[in-house]
Each structure stands twice: as structure tokens, then as C-alpha cells.
Structure 1
Amino acid sequence: MNVPNQITISRICLIPIFMIFLIVPMEFGNLSLLGTVVPVSHFIAAIIFIIAAATDWLDGYYARKYKLVTNLGKFLDPLADKLLITAALISLVELQMAPAWMVIVILSREFAVTGVRLVAAADGSVIAASPLGKIKTVFQIIAISALMLHNFPFEPIGIPFAMLMLWVATILTIVSGIDYFMKNKHIFLKA
């Protein structure tokens, strides 16, 4: 197994670790970060999540630079991304830190896009991620990280940054989903 695929698998392995720190009650106390109170366990979960999210860029860069793109990597990389985002969002709903309806919208788009990619793959086509889809993912990661960090560093000044980012991520999810389906409608039109 090549290095990019090992990095991708490490991303998958980090998912249960950050989830344990995020949702399992732990008595590590709280951090006071510039006036924002963040449970230590949530801070650790956020750091692990951010590291895991960063490996998405790292494995892709490494695979392209050293020509190590494999079918396993093409399968594992988007799977790891979906698992990471899904686990984080569902955990945040469980903690009542994210509205369920927004998470349902985001995850519905992810599952629908995955379905279209599977149909295209059955016909031998590969649908690459669009620039809009990549921007959507960045805002999802920012929103999730900000929620895990309890709106740090914006909480003391009263700016609901985490929720604003979740709104942006949700809107970009809808827009990128529409864009994705419009650009790939030919897949559905095949008889």
C-alpha cells in the first residue's frame, strides 16, 4: 500500500478517536481561550478533526506529485471524507450544537452525489470534484471546527461565527449540489 493510501486510512482511523473525545463525557475540565470556555475534550476533538481534515489535502497532493494515484485511493479518499464529515455532524447534532435539519441537508447532498458517482462509475466514467464542491468542503470543515471549539475566538464579542459558517456551508452544499446535478444530468438521461 502506497503512502497516500496510508494517509487516507489514517484519516479514517482518526474518526473514532475524535468522536470519543467529542461525545463521551470526560472530566478533563475546561480551557478559557480568550474568554471562550471550551471543554478540554472538545478542544482535543477539534485538533484531531482538523488534523484528519488536513490529511485530505496531503494525500491528494502526495498522490498527484509522485504519480501514486490508485483505484484504491480513488475509492478510499472520498469515502474517508464522507465518513469524517458525517461523523462530526451527527456528533454535533447529538450534542445539540448543530441543527439537525442543516445536517440532514448536508448529508443528503453527500449521499446523492455519491450515488451519481457510483452510477457514472458503472459506465466507466469518473466524476471529479468541482471547485465549488471543494469550497463547500472547506466551509464545512471551518464550521465543524468552530462548533467544536464553541465559537472560539468570536464568542466573547458576540459574533456567532460557528453558526454563520454552518449556514454558509449549508447554502454552498445546496448550490454545489444543484450545480453538480445540472452538470451531470446526462447520467440520468441515459436510457
Structure 2
Amino acid sequence: MNWANRITLARMALIPLFMLCFVPLSPSILGQSAILQIMNQHGTTFGVIIFIIAAGTDKLDGYIARKYNQVTNLGKLLDPLADKLLISVALLVMVQENMIGSWIAVIIIGREILITAIRMVATERGIALAADQYGKLKMVLQVAAIIAILLGNYPFHLLTDIRVDMALLWVAAGVTLLSGMNYIQVNYKMLQLGK
């Protein structure tokens, strides 16, 4: 396994750690450790840091894969899958924490499930479908929106009363839908030819 794919797998391994940052701990457990108390008090902050590191590895694995000619079909499958898992888990955590409405998470996660299903069909036919530019833009917007929401609209709330974090999420949801439609349209013929 090459380094680019290892970094992708590391991104996937960070997802459970991100989730743990939002697990409420009982007072009996908290009383046993100062470290657990700190983690409980600053769980969201730790979660944001882990999320930023995980999202940052997306650029790193892609850079290494291209620079050192380590682009593989496995990497083309794992990289977008890791992205989808990271974003989906973050959205589910935010729904659980009442930071966002469930309907917007359903839209974004539904699109990701559909595109993953298309990729799986393509893989069974020996076709590797890489992410396109719209998919990359969608990922950047989703990451920015998630970070802004987890930070409680910081630093935007210092400058304006407008919920920039929620506006970012709306834009991300719109681009997510458009990129999904574009992905289906662009790859439909390739899948038809691969029958």
C-alpha cells in the first residue's frame, strides 16, 4: 500500500476520534480523571481540531499521489469514500447536537450515498470514476460550513449578525446537489459503455 492510500486510511481512522469528542460523559466517569474533565469541557474544540486535520489530509494524500505517481484505482475509490464518511459523520453529530436541521443533512448525505452507489457499480464493471472539480468545490464548501457551525459562527459573529455559518451550509448543500447531478450526467455514458 502506498503513502497516499495510508494517509487516506488515517483520515478514516480520525472519524471515530472526532465522534468521541461529542459523547457526553457521566459525572461518575468525569470524577475519575482530570483529562476526561478537560475533554468533556472542550470536546467541541478538540472535535474541530480533529476535523480540520482529517479534512486537511484530503489535500495531502492527493498531492502525494500526483507528485509521486501513486494514483491507483484503490485510491480513487478510498479517497472520496473517506471524504463522504467524514462529512456524513460530522453532519450527523451536528444534527445530534441540534446545531443544524436534519433535512439538510439528509440532502447532503443522500447525494453522497447515491454517488457512492454509482461508484460501486462502476468499480464492479472495472471503471474507476474519479472526483471532478465540482466535487472538490463541494467538499471545500462543506468543510468550511461544518467548521464555521462547530465554532458557533466564529469569527463571523464578531463582524456581523448574519449567520454566515448557516449561509455557507446552504451554499454547500446547493453545490452538493448540482455537483451530484453533474456527476451523474458526465459519467452516465461511461457506465453505459461499460455494460
* Secondary structure of residue in 2 paired with 1:93: helix
Corresponding residue of 1:12:
12
Find 2:69's aligned residue among 43, 67, 70.
67
Q: Which runs of 5+ in 2 are unaligned?
A: 26-35
Q: Check whether the contact 1:143–1:166 (CA below 8 A) recurs between aligned residues.
A: yes
Corresponding residue of 1:166:
169
Aligned pair 1:150/2:152, yes or no? yes
Corresponding residue of 1:179:
182
Find 2:103's aligned residue among 101, 104, 126.
101
Please report the TM-score for the alignment, with normalisation by the length of structure 1.
0.87
Structure 1 outlier segments of 4+, above 6 Å: none
Aligned residue pairs total 183
Residues of 1 paired with 2:19 and 2:156: CA distance? 24
Q: Check whether the contact 1:4–1:68 (CA below 8 A) recurs between aligned residues.
A: yes
* Secondary structure of residue in 2 paired with 1:158: coil
Corresponding residue of 1:139:
141
RMSD over aligned CA atoms reads 2.2
Please report the TM-score for the alignment, with normalisation by the length of structure 2.
0.85
Q: Which deviations, in whole Å up to 9, do the C-alpha atoms of 1:40-86 show, x marking residues without a partner?
A: 22111111101100101101110111112234323322221111111
Q: Which amino acid aligns with 2:12?
A: I
Residues of 2 paired with 1:7 and 1:45: CA distance? 19
Q: Which runs of 5+ in 1 are unaligned?
A: 31-38
